[in-house]
Amino acid sequence: MKWLDKLQRKYGRHAIHNLTKYMTIIYATGLILQIMAPGFYEMYLSLHMSQVFKGQIWRLVTFVIYPPGGGLFFSLIMMVIYYQLGNTLENCWGAFRYNLYIFSGVLFHIVAALLVTLIEGDCYLTGVSYLNMTMLLAFITEFPNTQFYLLYFIPVKAKWIGIVDAAYLGLIIVSGLLSPIFPGVQISDFGTGVLVLFCVLNYIVYFFTLPGNRYTPRQIKRRTVYAAKVAASNVKVKAGRHRCAVCGRTEADGEELEFRFCSKCNGNYEYCQDHLYTHMHVE
């Protein structure tokens, strides 16, 4: 915890704010690529470890552009959902810790692919869909009483969706890891089991060993409103640092305007050059 706080103090200013927005743009790029050039991603951009070992190291980065879901309509829906979840988590955790969760999740994908390659000889991976699933789990962990509407009219508490999500991920892990021993009853293969295990480890490490400063939805709203007021006041101050006490003009009304304080007025009254010598002195 202490070393994480030190990292945040030292590198927090380099965190990418609104990271989910850029992730959504990347997914949209991948979706357009899938539509316009089917097969290009699989051949040149996916995380195919045997090709990485041959020098195609760009695959360690480009594999993340694969859009979530399947098909145009479902992918668009999933991108909207993950955009909302990601923005909420960033507001809750802060930009640095949200960045850490996402980038460590991507790194765990690479580590899992490397491990599977060392065991089975090769690994082929597309996208970070299981990282997105753990992001949903993270959201539900933070806000278990949030209410979702299945099919737009069935109210369901988030915690019940989280239980189903966790059970599904656990089933994939167990089935995948046991698939070499019981090949006839497998639900997922060994590589998928290892991948999901590492994604869940990323979630576990964050929530049980690196608990950050978190905020409730009410606190998030209060922080957002406060930030908006501060930004508005900063703009107002920037736009009108000097103001004539008579006509109310500021330097934003003209670059040629000059402002001076009157030494004869009782108080700090500032006037433009047109009223500096013509105003009534305040006593």
pLDDT in tens, 67-111: 887 778 888 888 888 898 888 888 878 888 889 889 988 999 999
Contacts of 272 (CB under 8 A, 6+ apart): 244, 246, 247, 249, 257, 258, 259
**What are the residue ranges of CATH 1.20.1540.10 in the chain?**
2-230
pLDDT in tens, 169-227: 888 888 888 877 777 666 778 888 888 898 888 888 877 665 544 555 555 556 556 66
How distant, in Å, are the alpha carbons of 23, 95, 252 from that of 257?
46, 41, 9
Of 138, 133, 195, 144, give the one whose Cα is nearest residue 168. Answer: 133
Highest mean pLDDT among 33-42, 205-214, 261-270: 33-42
Q: Tell me which fold the domain 2-230 belongs to.
A: Rhomboid-like fold (1.20.1540)
Other Cβ atoms within 10 Å of 202 Cβ, number: 24
140 within 8 A of 159, measured Cβ to Cβ:
yes
Q: What is the Cα–Cα distance from 61 to 42, expressed in whole angstroms?
A: 14
Bridge partners of 271, per DSSP, are 260
Contacts of 84 (CB under 8 A, 6+ apart): none
Q: What is the mean pLDDT of the chain?
A: 81
Type of residue numbered 193: G
pLDDT band of 19, cuts 50, 70, 90: very high
Residue 136 C-alpha from the chain's centroid = 12
Q: What is the Cα–Cα distance from 113 to 128, expressed in whole angstroms?
A: 12
Mean pLDDT value of segment 16-21: 90
Can you give the chain as a three-state secondary structure string? CHHHHHHHHHHHHHCCCCHHHHHHHHHHHHHHHHHHCCCHHHHHCCEEHHHHHCCCCCHHHHHHHCCCCCCHHHHHHHHHHHHHHHHHHHHHHCHHHHHHHHHHHHHHHHHHHHHHHHHHCCCEECCCHHHHHHHHHHHHHHCCCCEEEECCCEEEEHHHHHHHHHHHHHHHHHHHHHCCCCHHHCCCCHHHHHHHHHHHHHHHHHHHCCCCCCCCHHHHHHHHHHHHHHHHHHHHHHHCCCECCCCCCEHHHCCCCCEEECCCCCCCCEEECCCCCCCCCCC
How confident is the model at residue 60, as a pLDDT? Answer: 92
Mean pLDDT value of segment 140-151: 80
Torsions phi, psi for 271 (to 5 deg) = -135, 150
| Residue 75 token pair | 């992918």
How confident is the model at residue 272, as a pLDDT? Answer: 84
45 within 8 A of 64, measured Cβ to Cβ:
no
Owner of token pair 């949903």: 136
Q: What is the Cα–Cα distance from 140 to 43, expressed in whole angstroms?
A: 36
> Among 14-18, 211-215, 254-258, 264-268, which stretch is predicted with the lowest mean pLDDT?
211-215
**pLDDT higher at 237 or 128:** 128
How confident is the model at residue 238, as a pLDDT? Answer: 47
How confident is the model at residue 38, as a pLDDT? Answer: 87
Other Cβ atoms within 10 Å of 40 Cβ, number: 12
